[in-house]
Chain A
Amino acid sequence: MTAPQVELLNMTKRFGANLALNNVSLLIRSGTVHALLGENGAGKSTLVKCLVGFYHPENGHIQVNGREHRLNSPKDADALGIGMVYQHFTLVPSMTVAQNLVVSGARLPAYINWQSELKRLTEVTKKLPFHVPLDVRVSQLSAGEKQKAEIVKQLYLGRKLLILDEPTSVLTPAEADEVLGYVRSLTRAGELSAVLISHKFHEVRRYADDVTVLRRGASVRTGAVADLSDDALAEAMIGEPVSKMVQHAPKSPPKPNIVLSIKDLCVNGDNGLPAVKDLSLAVREGEIAGIAGVSGNGQLELVEAMMGQRDRNGTITVSGSSFNGTRKEIARLGVYGLPQEPLKNACIDRMSLAENLALRNFDRAPLCRGIAMNYGALAVQAERLVAQFRVKAPGLTASMNALSGGNVQRAVLARELTQDVRLLIASNPTFGLDFVACEETYRRIVEARNGGAAVLLISEDLDELLGLVDRVLVMSAGRIVHEVLADCADKRVIGKYMAGMKAA
């Protein structure tokens, strides 16, 4: 048996005054998958970062197979066969996948003969059940491919303990099944132990043996997955019995006037090739239109072009006037939204939470008086939004990159959804959110719709999409290939269009 048993004892970690981990202990049995559950900001990422030597806990011990180890850097973890797929990508964007694999090896080779190296890498990666191109730059991979490349990297490095921090948020259900199924089979064979952080209960139930729930930095529940019901887990996460899911307000039929109209839109991707091809669509007032599709089929480019982040051909009009994403137009036409990777695309990561919350309206009263900022009003607004959307942060003045992944998302939603929204564009709005926050976000999107806003929702999660939207558009290879009302949608048909097996 080569899979190690790893035990964390009494881990405590502070960030300034913020106690991120409070005396947490965790036992990962040999040859099992151990799931970590918890709300956004509960400390899951912090705990596993301590385990790979990325953070240094104030207190606590790490034992591998009963022997105590000190991990001062990820290199030490590497030597013990512990590796992690981080929540945010850590591949080097300008290097190819093969170069990334080589540079992450335990010993850096002096001279690399790429011909034989590529042959060797192909041999090794051929045994894996999923395919990632080796000689393509990481920056040109789609989010799903990047995630698979991260996992390939860890498996290639021959890990004995593999930590996966929300690995499936950018994978389609089928890809997630491939990846996690393979990890599962390795643990069953006794070759690997694993830690899986996820917000999806069905994944935990399907792939994990044990589960530990964190709440506000403390371990509140641990045990075999089979012994714990979903309700018990949810209750442990939020600390109170779960009320039944909120019922969405009843749908009212959309009004006839068109808010967003896109005609013959063409957009190039980063590689200079067309990513969106002659795309036309319209969204009406009081309607949620959903774009379904596997990631990397032009959704990202579509959203960036709509928001003026990318050059484009074709016309985009909002409420009848042409829209180029300038600040004036955004405010006048009420266009708001949540882009992909919000920390990168909707925040200024070195500015404070309060300032980030004010990015939409810092140039209007009451946040400014003449040319001067009114920091009092800024703080008041931030406090209100943080309370209303329950953003958990070390403080209003904490810099944005100190927030946990899910809380960045909440902060952006708080800023965008409290404006006078007439068109809402949201890409995967619930990526990385815990189930409470997911429900809240759904409710807010539906509220915006019922308030008369037009909503364009881009999501790779088909179930989420079908539960929310009025009309489904399927995007594949840069085109809308299928359109159907949500009430008469057939998941299998949509799936076929998504996979590009049917053309429009």
Chain B
Amino acid sequence: MDVTSIGWLTLPLAILGGAIRVSTPFIFVSIGELITEKSGRINLGLEGTLMLGAMAGYGVSYLSGSPWLGVLAAGLAGTAFGLVHGLLCSVKRVNDTAIGISLIVLGTGLAFFFGKPLIEPKAPALPSISLGFWSSVPQVRAASDVNALFFVGILLAFAVYVFLNRTGWGLMLRTVGDSEDAARALGFPVLRVRILATMAGGFLAGIGGSFLSLSYPGSWSEGLSSGQGIMAVALVIFARWRSINALGASLLFGGAGALGPALQGVGVTGYYYLFNAAPYILTLAIMVASTSRAAPFADAPGELKLHR
């Protein structure tokens, strides 16, 4: 029997495959949030953006027959939402956290409203790249079927790293996020930079959403998101506002999220729901463990006023 022939490898393979699938939306949403936060604003509304992107991506893919057009549409819907957030927060005395929460509700509501007719039909899904051709073991093949967006996400993490550290615009973004006084003294257009950063964040979150509906789980339903948009905010803090760390953190969370299903796959069915809670428990544990009063975050954008 095949299953016994790879024996103990079954579980790690299942977790690896699951980690890649589950982590992909995390990568996009957390890097999007990272870009926004680097400009000095928090966008909690990415949960709503994610749902809107999932719906828009699915709808456009269904109508046009091209999943990649769907991804683009999801990104554009997210960009529009980012623009709304960016503009509203630019009004004096408006608080970004409050706007974010209202956008969660609005985005989810809009997605449900326009998504009603999309629950039934089947839209073309995103392709995946098979890296398991060398093996005849089905578990290996299944785990090595990697969706294309995952690779885009990896490239994205490195691209954002280069952007933030090695380009003039990246330094400008960090200046705006770290010290508004400094940015003004240098004559940078603070509001414009923040709005653009929020739009970029929305674009990526929208794409993260389209992955949910077009790849894994791969259909549109109202229970599609399990809080990835909110957890991305925690991920960014855990990743210390560094994009490569955010990639690693997303994989870690993906792995934790894949634990439950993977265990079920090898027949461990007890505590299923407990294992499904692993990513959330991990969030809490990591946040507590990584917060230290003695050494405030060196990379935390100063304008977020998070520390002290």
Binding site for B on A (CB under 8 A): 52-54, 73-76, 78, 84, 86, 88, 90-95, 99, 102-104, 107-114, 137, 139, 268, 270-272, 311
Contact = CB atoms under 8 A, between A and B. Distances in A.
Contacts of B178: 92-95
Contacts of A111: 166-167
A111 B301 CA distance: 22
A54, A84, A90, A103: most-surrounded residue (chain B CB, <10 A):
A103
B174 A92 contact: yes
Contact of A103 (B172, B294, B298, B302): B172
Contacts of A112: 166-168, 171
A84, A94, A107: most-surrounded residue (chain B CB, <10 A):
A94
Given A74-B187, A94-B301, A268-B294, A108 B179 contact: no
B179 A311 contact: no
B186 interface: yes
B166 A114 contact: yes
A326 to B, nearest CB: 16
B181 A88 contact: yes
A103 B184 contact: no
Given A94-B301, A111-B166, A139-B298, 8 more contacts: A91-B179, A95-B171, A95-B174, A95-B175, A108-B168, A108-B169, A112-B168, A272-B294
A92 B179 contact: yes
Interface string B142-186: 000000000000000000000000111101101100110110111
B302 A94 contact: yes
5 smallest CB-CB distances across A and B, nearest first, come from A108-B168, A75-B187, A74-B187, A103-B171, A90-B185
B307 to A, nearest CB: 11
Interface residues on B, range: 20 to 34
Nearest to A52: B185
Contacts, number: 80
A137 B298 contact: yes
A53, A90, A268: most-surrounded residue (chain B CB, <10 A):
A90
Given A94-B174, A110-B168, A104 B186 contact: yes
B295 interface: yes
Interface string B214-246: 000000000000000000000000000000000
Interface string B270-303: 0000000000000000000000011110111110
A94 B167 contact: no
Nearest to B167: A111
Contact of B171 (A53, A108, A311): A108
Interface of B: 166-169, 171-172, 174-175, 178-179, 181-182, 184-187, 293-296, 298-302
B167 A110 contact: yes
A86 B183 CA distance: 13
B274 to A, nearest CB: 36
B184 A54 contact: yes
A90 B298 contact: no
A143 B280 CA distance: 42
Contacts of A139: 298
B302 to A, nearest CB: 6
A111 to B, nearest CB: 6
Contacts of B182: 90-92
A102 B175 CA distance: 11
A103 B168 contact: yes
Given A108-B169, A112-B167, A270 B296 contact: yes
A99 B171 contact: yes
Contacts of A271: 295
A108 B171 CA distance: 9
B293 A103 contact: no
9 contacts: A54-B184, A73-B187, A74-B185, A74-B187, A75-B186, A75-B187, A84-B185, A103-B171, A110-B167
A102 B171 contact: yes
A270 B308 CA distance: 12
Nearest to B163: A111
Contact of A74 (B169, B184, B295): B184
A52 B185 CA distance: 9
A311 B167 contact: no
A93 B293 CA distance: 18
A137 B167 CA distance: 18
